[in-house]
Structure 1
Amino acid sequence: MTSILTNTNAMAALSTLRSISSGMEETQARISSGLRVGGASDNAAYWSIATTMRSDNMALSSVQDALGLGAAKVDTAYSGMNSAIEVVKEIKAKLVAASEDGVDKTKIQEEITQLQDQLKSISEAASFSGENWLQVDLGANAATEITKSVVGSFVRDSDGNVSVKKVSYTLGTNTVLFDEGADPATGFGAGILDKSHNINGNGVTLTVNVDGTSQNYNIVKYTTEEVIGYGGTFDSGGEVAVGGSGAAAYVKVGDDTWVAAVDQSSVTQQEVAVVGDDAVTAWAVDLTQLATADMEASVAGFKIDQNTTSDQIDDLISVVDGALETMTSSAASLGSISARIDMQGEFVSNLTAAIDKGVGRLVDADMNEESTRLKALQTQQQLAIQALSIANSDSQNVLSLFR
């Protein structure tokens, strides 16, 4: 049936052309944006996943920035600790040199003082973005611990819960070099280099009765070989050595242990020195050679002079060596954290790339496919236009029937 009122062929051709035009618009949008899923209307599930993962990737980008800042803090503390270790090694070497007989200990102390000042300078300078992990207020002689954290990762679990994971480092008595809360009266704090250590004054502790009150003192200790070297001559019992340089006499107070003493008639204050259960009654202790027993020192604050004994230096070497061991352990911890941060930074970078790739597989358009489809649609459009033109010409053909 042919009708001039209803052209079904033209209507069919027009519907086909509209469908082809709609497909072309969709394809051209994909080509221009590069996205197969550009909105929720394209594919709600894929669009939702892609939006969430893009948000997580932005969080991971912030994590990378935080890791860079944290790495700078850790590396600054690590560099400072390593530099301090080298200085403490030098101090240890100077003390070993000071233990040699006849050396000028005062000159060595001048060098040690410069090294001690250098330790303080290193500690003060090891600061990044206002944070110093080598010099912290721990409270004088306190065991306060402060936890420092570096953002390590952003995590979304299977239930959709999100959290930020951190890498922690504890600042305490075994990781901080100087305690900013050190006691101003003594200078002692809770840090590795300013904590107090008991130093054996001279090796022998004597209890001296002074005006009816017993007091503990340290007194110079000599070996038998040293007494002989001073020219001392021993009595028949081998308990007292008379004469020689360094003292009027020496009294034996233990195995291979002698102390200097003077004749009672030559001292203004007559006192009796008691060593253990043995009272030295034949000789009086020269109180000018005594020092209080509880001597304290810190790695960054001790001083030596010509009167510093070899035993005292040995004790100081032990203190410095102990501090060096603690600093080495702390540097190892900082180094391991630095390595972990580097690995975490690389992981976050790879994870970001993997998420981008995964999102791309869901929503990115295949440009080769879209290009081929566009070409096909263009051809279909041309054919649909031709079909519509033919359909529209049917009404003109009806006129020929009435000629």
Structure 2
Amino acid sequence: MSSLLTNSTAMTALQTLRSVSSQLSTTQTRISTGQRVSTASDNAAYWSIATSMRSDNAALSAVSDSLGLSAATVDTEYTALNTVIGDKDSGLTKLQALLVEAKTAGIDRSKIQADVTQIQNQLKSTADSATINGINWLSIDTTPSSSTATPTSFNLVSSYSRVGNTPTIGSITVTTATYALYTTGGSSTTGILDAVVGGSTGASVSSINIGALTDSATDQTKLDGYIAQVTAAIGSVASAAANLGAVKNRISTNTEFVKNLMDSVDRGVGQLVDADMNQESTRLAALQVQQQLGVQALSIANNSSQSILSLFR
């Protein structure tokens, strides 16, 4: 039956064209965004998972930045400790050699003391200069209940993980006293280089003075004590440097792991929401052809109404 009011052929062609246009719009969106799931309406479950994973990756990025700052801090302190240990021409190693030289009978110890004083000043300067971002672990303030006091420990953020809705922040704890060479503000000095050995008549590595010592047995015994004290200080500083070296390696390992983990999360998100561009390009070409055919079919269906006019001529 031919009807002027109802053109079922045109209606069918129009429905087909609408469907093709809708699919074409979806495909074009996927191509422009590069994602097959770009909004919650595309796939609520995948969109929710991908959003959480992207949030985790942002947290991991912050951990990576924190590890970079921690690495710089540790490297600064580590470098300073190595400088304090020194070699035959500087640092505690040179100081030890000067004290051994001072054991020589008849030597002018006041001249040796001039070198000793310079080394002591240099050691203090090195410790004070080991500051980055306002943090110094070698020259610390132990003033009780003071806002400027150096914290007894630092937590270096090293990892982030999430199980369900519970996040966990991992950290590397660094105890300040392990690396302190000089302390100020407390009732007593407890740093490796400013701690007094030998009671009220003793001295610290930073206050050793041999200028007035003689060849007497008493003074020679005192020199032996100073040498032993400096040797012990070298061991303590070397131990602190070794500890920091271990922390440095751990930070380096964690940094690499976090970067790899971020890449893995990115790949996981991609598997969930990224569009297959080869597939989408093929679909786009097919839909464009279908759209053209749909337009042609609708045009033919609309023209069929013109044939009804011929019945009334």
TM-score (norm: length of structure 1):
0.71
Give 1:59's aligned residue: 59
Give the corresponding residue for 2:94: 90
Amino acid at match of 2:159: S
| Other-structure match for 2:296 | 386
- In the alignment, does 2:185 pair up with 1:181? yes
Superposed CA offset, 1:51-92 (max 9, x none): 111111111111121111111111111111111111011110
Distance 1:300 1:306 in 2: 17
Which residue pairs with 1:314 in the alignment?
224
Q: CA deviation at 1:38?
A: 0.8
Corresponding residue of 2:241:
331
Shift of 1:401: 4.0
Which residue of 1 is the match for residue 48 of structure 2?
48
Task: Tell which has more relative contact order, 1 or 2 (C-alpha 8 A, sep 6+).
Answer: 2
Partner of 2:147: none
- The question of 1:147 aligning with 2:54 is answered no
State the alpha-carbon separation in 2 of the partners of residues 139 and 17 from structure 1. 80
CA positional deviation for 1:351:
1.2
For the structure 1 residues 135 and 11, does the alpha-carbon distance in structure 2 shift closer, same or farther, using more than 3 Å as the test? Answer: same
Alignment partner of 1:349 is 2:259: yes
- Deviation at residue 373 of structure 1 after TM alignment: 0.4
Distance of 1:8 and 1:36 partners within structure 2:
35
- Which residue of structure 2 aligns with residue 266 of structure 1? none
Superposition deviation, residue 139 in structure 1: 5.7
* Preserved CA contact (<8 Å) 1:91 1:115: yes
* Larger helix proportion of the pair: 2
The amino acid that maps onto 2:10 is: A
- 3-state SS in 2 of match to 1:131: coil
Report the alpha carbon displacement of residue 395 of structure 1 after superposing the two structures with TM.
2.0
Report if the CA contact (8 A) 2:60-2:258 is conserved. Answer: yes
Q: How far 1:147 moved relative to its partner?
A: 0.6
Give SS of 1:61's match. helix
**Match in the other structure for 2:35:** 35
Contact preservation (8 Å) 2:214, 2:220: no
8 A contact 1:178–1:192 mirrored in 2: yes
Runs of 4+ in structure 1 off by over 4 angstroms are: none
Specify the SS of the correspondent of 2:223.
Answer: helix
Higher CA-based Rg: 1
Q: Is the 8 A contact 1:139 1:179 kept in 2?
A: no
Distance in 1, Cα, partners of 2:154 & 2:94: 30
Is the counterpart of residue 102 in structure 1 residue 115 in structure 2? no
1:282 aligned residue: none
Partner of 1:363: 273
Give structure 2 stretches of 5+ with no counterpart.
145-149
Alpha-carbon deviation of 1:400? 3.5
CA-to-partner distance for each residue in 1:238-264, whole Å, 9 max, x for gaps? xxxxxxxxxxxxxxxxxxxxxxxxxxx
**Separation in structure 2 between the aligned mates of residue 388 and residue 79 of structure 1, nearest angstrom:** 79
Label 1:23 to 1:145 Cα distance change in 2 as closer, same or farther (>3 A). Answer: closer
Shift of 1:193: 0.4
State, as a whole percentage, how many aligned pairs show the same letter: 49
| One-letter identity of the residue aligned with 2:42 | D
**Number of matched pairs:** 300
Hey, what's the Cα distance between the residues in 1 that align with 2:213 and 2:277?
87
User: Which secondary structure state, in structure 2, belongs to the residue aligned with residue 132 of structure 1?
Assistant: coil
> Within 2, Cα distance between the matches of 1:319 and 1:145?
28
Structure 2 Cα separation of the partners of residues 132 and 88 of structure 1: 20
Rounded to whole Å, the distance in 1 between the matches of 2:111 and 2:185 is 31
More strand by share: 1
State the Cα distance separating 1:182 from its structure 2 match: 5.3
Q: Which consecutive residues of structure 1, in runs of 5 or more, have no partner in the other structure?
A: 200-293
Give deviations 1:330-368, integer Å, cap 9, x for gaps. Answer: 000111111111121111111111111110111111111
CA distance in 2, matches of 1:168, 1:82: 21
